[in-house]
Amino acid sequence: MLTRRGVLKAFGGLVAAGLSSSAYAVGVEPLLRLRTTTYRISPPGWPEGQKLRIVALADIHACEPWMSARRIGDICRHANDLRGDIVVLLGDYLSSMRAVWGKVPPAAWAAALSTLQAPLGVHAVLGNHDWWDDHDAQAIGGGETFSHRALRDAGIAVYSNSAARIETTTGAFWLAGLEDQIALRPGRQWNRYGYVGLDDLPGTLARVTDEAPVILLAHEPDIFPQVPARVSLTLSGHTHGGQVRLFGYSPMVPSAFGNRFAYGHVVEDGRHLCVSGGLGCSIAPVRFGSPPEIMVVELG
């Protein structure tokens, strides 16, 4: 028989469970957990026997206390221990969250990222927050941001609708990087009605001048339906896996495609996409079921 005391105990248990879950989502998973997720892929167009180990970091969102320069440095040391052939950074180094104690200056987070090491170098694209938080770049409607400059000053190659041919001991490949797809916020006279992207997929791929395979870096995964089969692999971030992920589903995903490209290894029409769950937080310092991660992709 259900008594008043039993109802109160059950209610108290639910409240305690809710408080515990909230504390975990704010104080434990975003700050204290870090996982490595590895995908082993042999996509069409990637030569058999051409080995490549990619270590990918996405969505750092530097800020105090959630992603301090010290914590970024710790993540970079862990990334170095994974011994990738190449390291790629998938954008969003800045944070727009209001629930912060303070900002991390670009020089500080870039200095932490400068400790990343790989035989084939460290390569980066920018994300939407790197554009949104640069008021001068927004006012001009393009050009480059202080994140472009901070990364270059740290010795990191930055791709803005550009591509580079990279030679390895087992064969060459092209690394192509798109500029952000929602870089400019609405509000300016020339940009009243919606976000404007600065990405140029056809122009970027036109820089590929031979038959070597192509890896594409694109901060937002929403470009993927337009990516041709010529590209062996697309790497993206942006979604954070939804930040809250239950049983493989995220209630809120910053993508026009919802959960279709929210997280993980996606194969469509023989084309391959890997979406990182990212490292930092956006909007709110909450992660539940989607801990910060470093993504590793092994090709060949």
* pLDDT of 3: 47
Residue that the structure tokens 């409240």 belong to: 15
Is the pLDDT at 16 greater than 80, yes or no? no
Task: Label residue 96 by pLDDT band (50, 70, 90).
Answer: confident
Closest CA to 109 of 95, 125, 96: 95
What is the average pLDDT across 266-280?
Answer: 97
* pLDDT of 98: 81
Respond yes or no on whether the N-terminal peptide bond of residue 291 is cis (omega within 30° of 0): no
If asked whether residues 39 and 160 sit together in one domain, one would say: yes
- Max mean pLDDT range (106-110, 138-142, 244-248): 106-110
* pLDDT of 11: 28
If asked whether residues 217 and 266 sit together in one domain, one would say: yes
If asked whether residues 131 and 238 sit together in one domain, one would say: yes
Amino acid at 160: S
* pLDDT of 248: 86
Is the pLDDT at 24 greater than 70, yes or no? no
In the chain, % of residues over pLDDT 90: 79
If asked whether residues 17 and 138 sit together in one domain, one would say: no
Is the pLDDT at 4 greater than 90, yes or no? no
Is the pLDDT at 99 greater than 80, yes or no? no
Average pLDDT, whole number, for the chain?
A: 89
If asked whether residues 26 and 144 sit together in one domain, one would say: no
DSSP string, 78-133: HHHHT--SEEEE-S--B---SS-SEEPPHHHHHHHHTT---TT-EEE---HHHHHT
Which residues form the domain of 119? 34-299
* Rounded CA separation 300/298 (Å): 7
What is the average pLDDT across 217-228?
Answer: 98
If asked whether residues 147 and 284 sit together in one domain, one would say: yes
* Contact of 279 with 22, CB cutoff 8 Å: no
The number of distinct structural domains making up the chain is: 2
CB-CB neighbours of 116 under 10 Å: 23
* pLDDT of 221: 98
Is the pLDDT at 43 greater than 60, yes or no? yes
What tokens were used for 186? 């609405």
If asked whether residues 46 and 180 sit together in one domain, one would say: yes
Closest CA to 173 of 11, 58, 43: 43
Q: How far is CA 20 from CA 17, 99, 150, 251, in A?
A: 5, 20, 39, 20
Amino acid at 73: G
If asked whether residues 14 and 112 sit together in one domain, one would say: no
If asked whether residues 120 and 18 sit together in one domain, one would say: no
Is the pLDDT at 64 greater than 80, yes or no? yes
* Rounded CA separation 120/77 (Å): 17
Task: Label residue 258 by pLDDT band (50, 70, 90).
Answer: very high
Residue 98 Cα to chain centre, angstroms? 20
Looking up residue 155, the CATH number of its domain turns out to be: 3.60.21
* pLDDT of 14: 28
If asked whether residues 3 and 118 sit together in one domain, one would say: no
* pLDDT of 166: 98
Residue that the structure tokens 């927050």 belong to: 129
Residue 210: phi and psi, rounded to 5, are -145, -170
Is the pLDDT at 19 greater than 70, yes or no? no
pLDDT in tens, 175-214: 999 999 999 999 766 566 789 999 999 999 999 999 999 9
Amino acid at 251: P
Annotate 153-165 with b (16+ C-beta within 10 A) or e (fewer). ebebbbbbbbbee
What tokens were used for 141? 């409607």
If asked whether residues 99 and 227 sit together in one domain, one would say: yes
